[in-house]
Amino acid sequence: MTVVAIPDESPFPITNLPFGIGDPGDGHPRAWVAVGDHAVDLDALHAAGVFHGIGIPPTCFARGDLNAYLALGRDVWSSVRARLRDALEGSSLTRVPERSIVRRSRLRMDIPTRPVDYVDFYSSIHHATNLGRMFRPDGDALLPNWRRIPIGYHGRTGTLVPDGTPVRRPAGYRLVDGEPEVGPSGRLDIELEVGTVVGVGNAVGEPIPIGRAVEHIYGMCLVNDWSARDIQAFEYQPLGPFLGKSFATSVSPWLVSLEALEPFRVAPPTQDPPPADYLTTDEPWGFDLHLEVWLDTEAMRAAGLPPVCISETGFADMYWTPAQQLAHLTVNGAATHPGDLFASGTVSGAELGSEGSLIELAANGDRPIRLPDGTERAFLHDGDRVELRGWAGADPRTRIGLGTVSGTVLDCRAPDGRGRT
């Protein structure tokens, strides 16, 4: 028995205990733990003595981000989790105050951390191959560096946005009939990704050895790396993605800890050629995650039609793992900080219907997705709403959820700010 009833097959059973930042309506965003359809105020639990003696600063959970908590390290995270289970299962001597429990739907959720840096990787071999074929039809799909290092770029933390934030269609330079022209992106896309969040960071000049990644990684969430493919295609050479990516990146509200994900760790695929020593570990850094993309359009909503699942895929066969990504991004001495986010790259499977972006699902416009009302999509239209969903494990009785993250496309504003295009 828990202090709140948890519905069967809830994404947030007592084995999950994800943390997030929510405002219950009093203007004081703070840290909460999700339990079934409810959330429990971590600051109130701290005040009630649930975490007494663990070494948590008084205001740790009263802030608008989890950064200070993540900085405390793995022993503290583990102790907090154990105390939470005791308190929420009613076996603790410290009672959970009634007023610290709210329905989750009452909270206005923010992103869980304030990252200093955000990196986006490119670690699915299926996605990299599919995109390589489309962007460079005359060359090798995978460039020679792809199997040697986890390819990535530094993204923009200032435009990481919470669940539900509308996404304005960007304008910029793109080719129209082969000629560069400024205007609204006509090829707005999504990228289904899993984010990894840094707990304890590292100092400048002190790389994180892959064998110690477990001490530095706090947990995982869902990320939608919205992408304007036409702007991206025009700008990406020679320095990589820029404005085609940085207008919005949606982050899911509930951060699931590595400890909760422990039962779902699996061996990643064998890598060929074998990676360099600094990228080599025997630890199982793959994760058995199931991921989905759901879409509904303005017309579907008007007709009372529910969202439709347009992609289902798995995370277990990602080529490069979060531990390899962290070891790689710090190997040159770059620092990371508590709350930093690095995303997996688009998660695509090998089969049709398991691709994590529209440009792949609709074969660059050649195979539009048919929707239940008979309309088609190659790329996103204004009013389209995309929701990513994810969970760990196949058995509904034991699986744990990553929750969801969604956003709706708004019409473009002219780049000079004088009105609509």
* Catalytic sites, residue numbers: 127
> Whole-number minimum distance, CB 363 to Mn ion, in Å?
19
Residue 73 DSSP one-character state: -
| Count of residues near Mn ion by CB under 5 A | 3
Q: Give the ranges where 309-391 is alpha helix by DSSP (H).
A: 322-330, 358-361
Q: Which residue type, as a one-letter code, is found at position 249?
A: T
User: Of the two residues 121 and 264, which places its CB atom closer to Mn ion in the complex?
Assistant: 121
User: Of the two residues 12 and 287, which places its CB atom closer to Mn ion in the complex?
Assistant: 287
Name the one range near Mn ion by CB under 5 A: 35-43, 44-52, 136-144, 224-232.
224-232
> Whole-number minimum distance, CB 365 to Mn ion, in Å?
20
User: Of the two residues 92 and 232, which places its CB atom closer to Mn ion in the complex?
Assistant: 232
> Whole-number minimum distance, CB 353 to Mn ion, in Å?
20
Write the burial class of residue 24 (CB in 10 Å: 0-12 exposed, 13-18 middle, 19+ buried). middle
Instruction: Report how far residue 47's alpha carbon sits from residue 55's, in angstroms, rounded to the nearest whole number.
Output: 13
Instruction: Report how far residue 375's alpha carbon sits from residue 373's, in angstroms, rounded to the nearest whole number.
Output: 6
User: Of the two residues 244 and 393, which places its CB atom closer to Mn ion in the complex?
Assistant: 244
Examine residue 225 and tell whether it contacts Mn ion (CB under 5 A): yes
> Whole-number minimum distance, CB 193 to Mn ion, in Å?
6
Name the one range near Mn ion by CB under 5 A: 80-88, 225-233, 303-311, 403-411.
225-233
Contact indicator for 410, 167 with CB cutoff of 8 Å:
yes
> Whole-number minimum distance, CB 155 to Mn ion, in Å?
8
User: Of the two residues 120 and 360, which places its CB atom closer to Mn ion in the complex?
Assistant: 120
Contact indicator for 291, 315 with CB cutoff of 8 Å:
yes
Contact indicator for 258, 169 with CB cutoff of 8 Å:
no
Residues 63-122 touching Mn ion, rule: CB under 5 A, are 120
Name the one range near Mn ion by CB under 5 A: 19-27, 79-87, 220-228, 384-392.
220-228
- CA-based end-to-end distance of the chain: 57
User: Of the two residues 195 and 207, which places its CB atom closer to Mn ion in the complex?
Assistant: 195
Name the one range near Mn ion by CB under 5 A: 83-91, 132-140, 218-226, 378-386.
218-226
List the beta bridge partners of residue 222.
194
Alpha-carbon distances, residue 301 vs 337, 384, 385, 411 (angstroms): 41, 10, 10, 17
Closest CA relative to residue 357, chosen from 251, 221, 178, 223: 223
With CB atoms as reference, the residue minimizing the distance to Mn ion is 225
User: Of the two residues 63 and 328, which places its CB atom closer to Mn ion in the complex?
Assistant: 328
> Whole-number minimum distance, CB 348 to Mn ion, in Å?
11
Interaction mask 112-151, Mn ion, x per CB under 5 A: --------x-------------------------------
Instruction: Report how far residue 282's alpha carbon sits from residue 116's, in angstroms, rounded to the nearest whole number.
Output: 30
Residues 155-214 touching Mn ion, rule: CB under 5 A, are 191
Instruction: Report how far residue 375's alpha carbon sits from residue 310's, in angstroms, rounded to the nearest whole number.
Output: 14
Give the rounded distance of the alpha carbon of 110 from its chain centre.
13
User: Of the two residues 40 and 347, which places its CB atom closer to Mn ion in the complex?
Assistant: 347
Contact indicator for 372, 300 with CB cutoff of 8 Å:
yes
Residues 253-272 touching Mn ion, rule: CB under 5 A, are none
Instruction: Report how far residue 220's alpha carbon sits from residue 195's, in angstroms, rounded to the nearest whole number.
Output: 5
Contact indicator for 121, 342 with CB cutoff of 8 Å:
yes
Peptide bond into 263 cis (omega under 30): no
> Whole-number minimum distance, CB 191 to Mn ion, in Å?
4
Instruction: Report how far residue 106's alpha carbon sits from residue 285's, in angstroms, rounded to the nearest whole number.
Output: 35
78-93 CB burial, b ≥16 within 10 A, e <16: ebbbebbeebbeeebe
The 3-state DSSP class for residue 127 equals helix
* Binding interface with Mn ion (CB under 5 A): 120, 191, 225
